[in-house]
Amino acid sequence: MADPTRLHAHEMAALLRAGDLSARALTEAHLDAAERDNRALHAWLTIDRARALEEADAADARIVAARADGAAALARLPALLGIPVALKDLVSVAGGQCTAGSRILEGYRSPYDAHITERLREAGAVILGKTNMDEFAMGSSTEHSAFGPTANPWALDRVPGGSSGGSAVAVAAFHAPLSIGTDTGGSIRQPAALCGVVGMKPTYGRVSRYGIVAFASSLDQIGPFARDVRDAGALLHAIAGRDDRDSTSSPVPVPAALGNLPAGDDEAAATLRGKRFGMPREYFVAGMEPAVEARVREAVAALEAAGATVEDVSLPHTDYGLATYYIVAPAEASANLARYDGVRFGLQRRDGDVLANYLATRGAGFGDEVKRRVMLGTYALSAGYYDAYYLKAQKVRTLIKGDFDALWAQGFDALVAPTSPTVAFPFGARMDDPVAMYLSDACTLPVNMAGLPGVSVPCGLAEGLPVGLQLIGAAWSEAELLGLARGYEAITAGAAWRSLEPADLARAADPSTPAPGARAA
Ligand code: GLN
């Protein structure tokens, strides 16, 4: 058979059930690719071959037993049985490392499974390992990982985006058909765009955050990466839903349609007919690359040709998204990160009394960007400044949400916008200028501030690098939103760029290619 890593998860599932592929062979092929490329790409912080193969063998045993029991038993098997999945290294897996990309959590082992880890196990997924990320998910390039950067398989001298860069690359480079990321201000959608894969941030509350290392608790959401929209829907379906251990997780029912998006392109394309999209003019920001804008406008034209209408709309408070996010997110981070005290988790520096130990541990364990956020957040929350900064930012946040609500009230089905104003940028380009790095997320941050679902789908290439199209929906509309994304995928199924693989995959597989850290230096 041809290389099974090139298949979509739904194709793998069909072959597994038919007995034409074993979960062991499938898992080995992915582990081999991940290990081979990890020097050049550095997408993975750990690859757990032994455990993954055990899980694959267990999946094979279940499939063999079900086949003996007949078609009904096969049909009852869980959707992700035997399918390899990568987890961002902030998802707890009992007994495994969970660094969140930070030295301060080096050596820490998770005492329990995250809610989504339990759900993935119930769904039969094979967990291959943990992926690289910006420290505590703070960043847009994965260069803020304490363990060195991840490279983009489309151009090894460029970043994959962040903070979930490792998870995006794992899927783009065929190390796994599915992966998990988190998105606080864009960290799923932006790396999905820069790596040419599908990535979704669900509605706030759709997925339990229990067992996920917290960054900014009112913004963090967990979501899927995949190489097509159906697979992204199936992964979200497996992890979504109420969990009593996260009081912000919602009891809103998880629609079955999420796991069952249209397979046929004609049916998928038909869902676009008569749909009404808004195109927020504020998302075509100054500094946007012309070729990125061109791809987005071509995508809009394709939606119109398929029978949708696209109207210019305004989200007038968009400009405040960045400023208010960089009050709210650091404020919440400063509170969440107070727990890394050199006593309870990971790194411990002993320098004298309790305060000296605390300062020494945090001084050695946190990187510069994390320290910057802790200082900003502590300042914004301190007496005398709380009202002027944090409270004010929360009020402006309500206005940002109100902009979106006004459009839903006018009957728009979804909004269409760029995901990132630029393609993947070279290593180092934004490292000396934090504000330039922050601007990478101008088009994604407002969606987190409003708690809405957003998805990035590939919409072509600009100078050989992927461009992402962002679709934004009303709260809890993930199934409809992915239906529209699936429609867009269907109407562009024949596009030449869809059949291209990342240009630097061969170099990534070459053992003489140096590590991204060495190249970045
Ligand atoms: N890049 C943004 C930040 O640095 C968003 C990160 C994220 O979504 N985790 O905060």
Give 364's contacts (C-beta < 8 A, 6+ positions apart): 103, 347, 349
Residues 512 and 325: their CA atoms lie apart, in Å, by 42
- Lowest mean pLDDT across 191-195, 293-297, 320-324, 514-518: 514-518
DSSP code string of 432-495: T-HHHHHHTTTTTHHHHHHT--EEEEEEEEETTEEEEEEEE--TT-HHHHHHHHHHHHHHTTT-
Would you state the pLDDT for residue 329?
98
User: Could you give the CA distance from residue 322 to residue 326 in angstroms, rounded to a whole number?
Assistant: 6
20 secondary structure, DSSP code: S
Residue ranges of domains in the chain, CATH in brackets: 8-319+396-520 (3.90.1300.10)
- Residues with CB under 6 Å of ligand 1 are 137-140, 163, 183-187, 215, 329, 441
What pLDDT is attached to residue 39? 97
Percentage of the chain modeled with pLDDT above 70? 99
The three-state DSSP-derived secondary structure of 280-335 is EHHHCCCCCCHHHHHHHHHHHHHHHHCCCEEEEECCCCCCHHHHHHHHHHHHHHHH
Residues 466-507: pLDDT tens digits? 999 999 999 999 999 999 999 999 999 999 999 999 999 999
Distance 137 CA to ligand 1 centre (A): 6
Quickly state the pLDDT bin for 367 (edges 50, 70, 90): very high
Query: pLDDT tens for residues 109-129?
Result: 999 999 999 999 999 999 999
The structure tokens listed for 145 are 């990982």
Average pLDDT, the chain: 97
Q: Assess contact for 198 and 456: CB atoms under 8 A.
A: yes
pLDDT, tens only, 87-110 = 999 999 999 999 999 999 999 999
Band (pLDDT 50/70/90 cuts) for residue 518 is confident
Check pLDDT > 70 for residue 521: no
Per-residue confidence band for 435, with pLDDT thresholds at 50, 70 and 90: confident
Looking at the DSSP bridge assignments, the partners of residue 415 are 278, 472
Ligand 1 mean position to 187 CA, how many Å? 6
Which H or E element spans position 225?
strand 221-226
Ligand 1 center–CA 385 separation, angstroms? 23
DSSP secondary structure of 389-435: IIIHHHHHHHHHHHHHHHHHHTT-SEEEEES-SSSPPBTTTTTT-HH
Mutation pick for ligand 1 pocket among 163, 212, 444 (CB with most ligand atoms within 8 Å): 163
Cα(135)–Cα(3) distance, rounded to whole angstroms? 34
Average pLDDT over residues 458-466: 97
With beta carbons less than 8 A apart as the criterion, state whether 175 and 451 touch: no
pLDDT at 520 over 80: no
For residues 43 and 107, which has the higher predicted lDDT (pLDDT)?
A: 43
For helices 320-336 and 368-381, angle between their N-to-C axes, nearest 10 degrees: 100
What is the distance between the alpha carbons of residues 74 and 71, in angstroms, rounded to a whole number?
Answer: 5
Question: What value does the mean pLDDT take over residues 413-441?
Answer: 94
Tell me, yes or no, if 88 is annotated catalytic.
yes
**pLDDT tens, 127-148?**
999 999 999 999 999 999 999 9
Question: How far is the centre of ligand 1, averaged over its atoms, from the C-alpha of 139 (Å)?
Answer: 5
Lowest mean pLDDT among 233-237, 283-287, 496-500: 283-287
100: tokens are 């969140």
pLDDT tens string 166-184: 999 999 999 999 999 999 9
Q: Is the pLDDT of residue 342 over 70?
A: yes
pTM of the model: 0.98
**Taking 70 as the threshold, does the pLDDT of residue 49 lie above it?**
yes
Per-residue model confidence (pLDDT) at position 519: 62
| In the block, residue with structure tokens 């089905």 | 413
Sorted by sequence, the CB contacts under 8 Å of residue 396 that are 6+ apart come out as 317, 320, 323, 324
Residue of 110, 141, 167, 187 marked catalytic: 187
What is the distance of C-alpha 307 from the center of its chain?
A: 30
Confidence label for 422 from pLDDT (cuts 50, 70 and 90): very high
Q: Is pLDDT above 80 for 1?
A: no
pLDDT at 359 over 90: yes
**Closest residue to atom 5 of ligand 1, CA basis:** 185
**β-strand partners of 155:** 152
